[in-house]
Amino acid sequence: MRLARQGDGAAWEDLVGEHQQPVFRLAYLLLGDPDEAQDVAQETFIRAYRALHRFDAQRPLRPWLLRIAANLAYNRQRSLRRYLAALMRLAQDQPHTSPAHESGERLLGEAVGRLKWQHREAIYLRYFLGMSEAEMTDALEVAPGTVKSRLHRALDSLRKLIEQDYPFLKDDLYG
């Protein structure tokens, strides 16, 4: 970190290489489009590099980068909201009459994608990216209790959505 702050390009490239995959994965999970996610990942590292002098080196880098990526993805998603809303309406109108032909994992991802932004973000960070609650506290810039309540509410919302719209997934998820 010290070398990257001093302008050492190789040091910065090492940091980018170490964190590129989780940043891309979060952007992809939030946006659902690999090209959009790649754009957000690149913009994340550009912004992080420009703000490197403001970063507290005593804190972990990953949550900071993921917070930048989440903010950029949120901003991008806001600009695409009408388009995504139309796609979601279309997806919701499609009957799920033959779940045996569809991947349970894909349907679970679809269900998570239907949750509100904060709930999706909490589930993606915790369960898709495997972040601890402490890392989530840093990434989301909220208190530990807020992380716990968001996770609880997110899982409760997901459970209700699955019971209502994806009842055939209940057996797979709850045994």
In the chain the domains, ranked by start, together with CATH numbers, are: 1-94 (1.10.1740.10), 99-175 (1.10.10.10)
Percentage above 90 pLDDT, the chain: 36
Q: What is the pTM of this model?
A: 0.58
Round to whole Å and give the CA distance between 167 and 134.
Answer: 33
Round to whole Å and give the CA distance between 30 and 63.
Answer: 16
Dihedral of the CA atoms 43, 77, 126, 135 (nearest 10)?
Answer: 40
Round to whole Å and give the CA distance between 51 and 36.
Answer: 22
Residue 25, CA distances (Å) to 8, 11, 37, 164 in order: 26, 22, 8, 28
pLDDT in tens, 103-132: 777 888 888 889 998 899 888 888 888 888
pLDDT in tens, 26-81: 999 998 889 899 999 999 999 999 999 888 888 899 999 999 999 999 888 776 55
Q: Output the pLDDT for position 91.
A: 54
For the record, the structure tokens of 117 come out as: 């932004």
Round to whole Å and give the CA distance between 28 and 50.
Answer: 23
Q: Where are the alpha helices (DSSP H) in 58-143?
A: 61-79, 81-93, 104-113, 117-123, 133-140
